[in-house]
Amino acid sequence: MDIQVFLQGLNDVFAAGQADRVVDYLHRSLAEAEAEDDRHAVVTILNEMIGYFRNTSRYQDAIRTAERAMMEMRRLGYEHSIPFGTTLLNAATAFRASGDNRKALELYHEAQDIYEAQLLEPDRRLAGLYNNISSLHEAEGNYEKACELLQKALQILSRVEDARIVIATVHTNLALVLFALRRETEAMESLRAALHIFEQEDAGKRRAPHYAAALAGLAGAYYQMEQYAEAVQVYEHALSHLKDCFGENRDFAITCRNCALALDAAGQSEQAEEYRKSADEILVRIGQA
């Protein structure tokens, strides 16, 4: 199987805004790789599936796929390789999304041992690992540690070519942590840096999925500054991008709820209730209520 053809086809489906066709494409490609007994292609496709299931809030599917990917790599004898570290990272992120932070941290540390022993800096994969581990510390309220890891990630990425979209993503995450630390001026600087990169890099094209997260962060900043009309406008922009990328997933529902809060504050309670109702219906549908 030509894995580059598979990856280009996956990019084309995403670029066309055909979120409902992605899972069919992944399953068909996996069946093709299985029929050819191309185990390396199977592993690559499984890793892509982990991310897709996670982003569409199909957490149990993501975990089952991650466990299968790790098993496949062990059978291939790659247990201590850099590609195995990447699969560990993907698996850890799936467990984190499902709420199992203990298992996620265990897998992140396994990946960290492999990456720090074998990767030569600067390497975006190590930066990506630090970015992901920071999210666990953020979830546990350890904002200083999360901030430290994100700044380490940015230091690495500043020396990596063609990493601007990744830099924008890390800036978005850093901004949210800085807001939690009440360092609003620095947080706004990080958000503006992220949005500037997204808008420059993807001008005139469908923007990266993380662009929606940056928009949601900006909307939250407007809300904190009591600029409620601006917050609503940016939340709605974020919702449009989220729906295009992954459909109505958990992040979409949470953003609906946040938009409802901004609408309430802006005196638009009727519209706020519509967003809350949509959020509740989505969470019930995906089993996250």
> pLDDT tens for residues 213-255?
888 888 988 898 899 999 999 999 999 988 888 889 899 999 9
Q: What is the mean pLDDT of the segment spanning 14-31?
A: 86
Judged against a pLDDT cut of 90, whether residue 43 lies above it is answered with yes
Cα→Cα distances 289→60, 245, 253, 286, Å: 15, 22, 10, 8
Predicted local confidence at residue 287, as pLDDT: 85
Cα(140)–Cα(266) distance, integer angstroms: 31
Quick one: tokens of 92? 């850890």
Cα(128)–Cα(86) distance, integer angstroms: 10
- Average pLDDT value over all residues in the chain: 91
Q: pTM for the full model?
A: 0.74
Judged against a pLDDT cut of 90, whether residue 92 lies above it is answered with yes
Q: What is the mean pLDDT of the segment spanning 106-128?
A: 94
Predicted local confidence at residue 221, as pLDDT: 85
Predicted local confidence at residue 20, as pLDDT: 75
Quick one: tokens of 195? 């949005």
Please check whether residue 128 is in contact with residue 94, taking contact to mean a CB–CB distance below 8 angstroms. no
Quick one: tokens of 61? 């599917």
Predicted local confidence at residue 207, as pLDDT: 58
| Single-letter amino acid, residue 239 | L
DSSP assignments along 105-169, one per residue: HHHHHHHHHHHHHHPPSS-HHHHHHHHHHHHHHHHTT-HHHHHHHHHHHHHHHTTSTT-HHHHHH
Give me the torsion for CA of 154, 156, 162, 166, rounded to 10°.
-40
Predicted local confidence at residue 214, as pLDDT: 85
Judged against a pLDDT cut of 80, whether residue 202 lies above it is answered with no
Q: How many of the other CB atoms lie within 10 Å of CB of 196?
A: 14
Domains for the chain: give ranges and CATH numbers.
1-118 (1.25.40.10), 124-202 (1.25.40.10), 209-289 (1.25.40)
At 247-283, the pLDDT tens digits run: 898 999 999 999 999 999 999 999 999 999 999 999 9
Judged against a pLDDT cut of 80, whether residue 6 lies above it is answered with yes
Give the pLDDT band (50/70/90) at residue 76. very high
Cα(41)–Cα(10) distance, integer angstroms: 14
Q: What is the mean pLDDT of the segment spanning 130-157?
A: 95
- Element housing 189 (H / E): helix 184-201
Residue 93: partners with Cβ closer than 8 Å, 6 or more residues away:
50, 51, 54, 104, 132
Give the pLDDT band (50/70/90) at residue 107. very high
Q: What is the mean pLDDT of the segment spanning 62-68?
A: 97
Judged against a pLDDT cut of 60, whether residue 204 lies above it is answered with no
Judged against a pLDDT cut of 90, whether residue 91 lies above it is answered with yes
Cα(186)–Cα(100) distance, integer angstroms: 31
Cα(27)–Cα(92) distance, integer angstroms: 22
